[in-house]
Chain A
Amino acid sequence: MRTGIVVFPGTWSDRDCAHAVGEILGEPVRYVDHRERDLHDLDLVILPGGFSYGDYLRCGALARFTPVMEAVSDFANRGGLVLGICNGFQILQEARLLPGALLRNSSCEFRCEWVHLRVEQSDSAFTLDSRPGQVLRIPISHGEGNFFADAHTLESLERDGRVVFRYCAPDGRVTAAANPNGSLRNIAGISNPRGNVVGMMPHPERACEVLLGGDDGLAVFRSAVHALARVPV
Chain B
Amino acid sequence: MYRAEVFVTLKAVVNDPAGLTIRGGLHALGFESVKDVRAGKYLVITVDEPDEDHARARVEDMAHQLLANAVIEDFRVELRPEPALQSPSPARGGGQGGGGS
Contacts and interface: CB of A to CB of B under 8 A. Distances in A.
Contact of B17 (A65, A146, A149): A146
B17 A106 contact: yes
Contacts of A106: 15, 17
A99 B18 CA distance: 23
A62 B69 CA distance: 12
A103 B15 contact: yes
A57 B17 contact: no
Q: Interface majority SS on A: helix, strand, loop or mixed?
A: loop
Interface string B66-81: 1101011000000000
Contacts of B72: 101, 103, 148
Contact of B15 (A61, A107, A150, A182): A182
18 contacts: A57-B41, A93-B71, A94-B69, A99-B71, A100-B71, A101-B69, A103-B15, A103-B17, A104-B18, A106-B17, A108-B21, A146-B15, A148-B15, A148-B71, A148-B72, A149-B71, A150-B71, A182-B17
Interface of A: 57-58, 61-62, 65, 93-94, 99-101, 103-108, 146, 148-150, 182
